[in-house]
Amino acid sequence: MECIFCKIVRGESIAEVLYENEHAISILDINPIHFGHALVFPKQHSETFLSVPEEELPDVMKATHIVSKAIVNAFQPEGFNIFSNNGRAAGQSVFHFHLHITPRYVEDDIKFILKLKQYGRGEMNDYANRLRQHIKPNSTHNH
């Protein structure tokens, strides 16, 4: 099945376009959490965040920043969420990477239900070391 976001980029499917730049486009979500809920995605098809070419990320983040400001200015929400689902297990349903920006209100009864865990003795350092082994040495910062 053809990717709906790619069809929108090519102008073959209608959408309420909010903003676009060289590498990114923002539209209103057709099934919003709250009215004004927007999506931002790269124009070039990339299934998940990890497959977005690095040179396109600044335009994606710039679009996210511009549209987030517009949502706050237009609707005066008490807060907003920016999130992305990557992979089926994370809730991704359209397999073209996208960020959600949704206004939030104190009494909106929308909850991300989490079961937080606690690291055992020494486990936090073990997990950090495992991650650091996969991060280029010149990109780490010791805090």
For 9-38, give the secondary structure using H, E and C.
Answer: HCCCCCCCEEEECCCEEEEECCCCCCCCCE
Question: pTM here?
Answer: 0.89
Q: What angle do CA 122, 128, 131 make, to 5 degrees?
A: 145
Domain tally, the chain: 1
DSSP state at residue 67: H
Examine residue 131 and state whether it is found in any structural domain, yes or no.
no
Domain with 46 in it: 4-111
CATH code for position 15:
3.30.428.10
Contact by Cβ (8 Å): 35, 51: no
Which is the catalytic residue, given 98, 100, 134, 143?
Answer: 98
Per-residue pLDDT for the chain (143 aa), expressed as one digit of tens each? 689 999 999 999 999 999 999 999 999 999 999 999 999 999 999 999 999 999 999 999 999 999 999 999 999 999 999 999 999 999 999 999 999 999 999 999 998 888 999 999 999 999 999 999 999 766 545 54
Would 127 be classed as within a structural domain? no
Residue 20 lies in a domain: yes
Q: Residue 134 has which token pair?
A: 């996969």
Q: Is residue 103 part of a domain?
A: yes
Query: Cα–Cα distance between 132 and 128 in angstroms, integer?
Result: 6
Catalytic residue list contains 98: yes
- Residue 132 lies inside a defined structural domain of this protein: no
Q: Which two tokens stand for residue 68?
A: 């987030």
Residue 22, domain member (yes or no):
yes
